[in-house]
Amino acid sequence: MKGHGLLYTIIFTFLVCFVFVFILSLTNNVTAAQVALNQRLSQQRAILSAMGIEFSSDNEVQRLFREIRQEQVGQETLYLATQDGTQIVAALFSGPGLWGTIRGVLALNGDGSRIVGLELISHNETPGLGGRIDESWYKGQLRGELVAPDGTIEMVSRRGVGDSDSENGGMDGITGATRTSESMVVILNNEIARVRNLIIIIGEIS
């Protein structure tokens, strides 16, 4: 192992880096399409389930997603659908959680007075604590929730009983994950205001 000169060291290091990075780029190229498809599918899946549209397979996701109308408002995209005679408006959101950005989809009804559903795309919250925002009971509690007259949702804290009333604009937090729960409420309230605004704008255009 001794006796390698400076030039040999430089050339060897360069070659080794070149070969390995080259193979990595190839692998990246081969998997890129699949990775992009996975990301697109997970976003479409999130939008559909926030809107309360049921699906069972990836093919169905793509088929159902084609039926959803997309409306561009400046940089934002609104996803519009009609389910059981009511208008549904959904938009992607992202906001700060406790450890990182929480991304997801919030769907409201046509006039923004009720939440249709919430779905998350990605988050970095503590598994088992804040990470429980991705559990179905947490997301599901907002299905059909009436937004309070001041346009917000509030976290309800009561000992031992959950908030099962969907007419009071209240939601449960997660025990042991107060900061994540509070962040979610802030994110949701900002998003409700933003989507309501967008609904007014597209209402004026059309």
Partner 1 sequence: MSDVAVATKPSTIAKANIWTTNPVFMQVLGICSALAVTNLVLNTLIMSFGVIFVTAFSCLTVSLLKSFIPRKVRMIVQVLIISFYTIIVDLVLKAYLPTVSRNLGPYVGLIITNCIIMGRAEAFAQGNPPLISFFDGLTSGAGYMGVLMVVAIVRELLGFGTLLGFQIMPANFVPWIIMVMPPSAFFLIGIIIWIGKDALRRQGALTE
Angle at 169 between CA 42 and CA 73, to 5 degrees: 50
Residue 14 sits in the site that holds partner 1 (CB under 8 A): no
20/16 Cα distance (integer angstroms): 6
**Contact assessment for residue 127 and residue 115, using Cβ atoms and an 8 Å cutoff:** no
Q: Nearer to partner 1 by C-beta: 103 or 196? A: 103
Among 24, 186, 193, 200, binds partner 1 (CB under 8 A): 24
Q: Nearer to partner 1 by C-beta: 137 or 165? A: 137
Question: Residue type for 40, please?
Answer: R
Binding mask 145-184 for partner 1 (x = CB under 8 A): -------------------------------x--------
Residue 94 sits in the site that holds partner 1 (CB under 8 A): no
Beta sheet of 86-96, edge-to-edge order = 69-73, 76-83, 86-96, 101-109, 115-122
Number of residues that bind partner 1 (CB under 8 A): 26
Residue 129 sits in the site that holds partner 1 (CB under 8 A): yes
Residue 122 sits in the site that holds partner 1 (CB under 8 A): yes
Give the contacts of 135 (CB within 8 A, at least 6 positions apart).
none
Residue 101 sits in the site that holds partner 1 (CB under 8 A): no
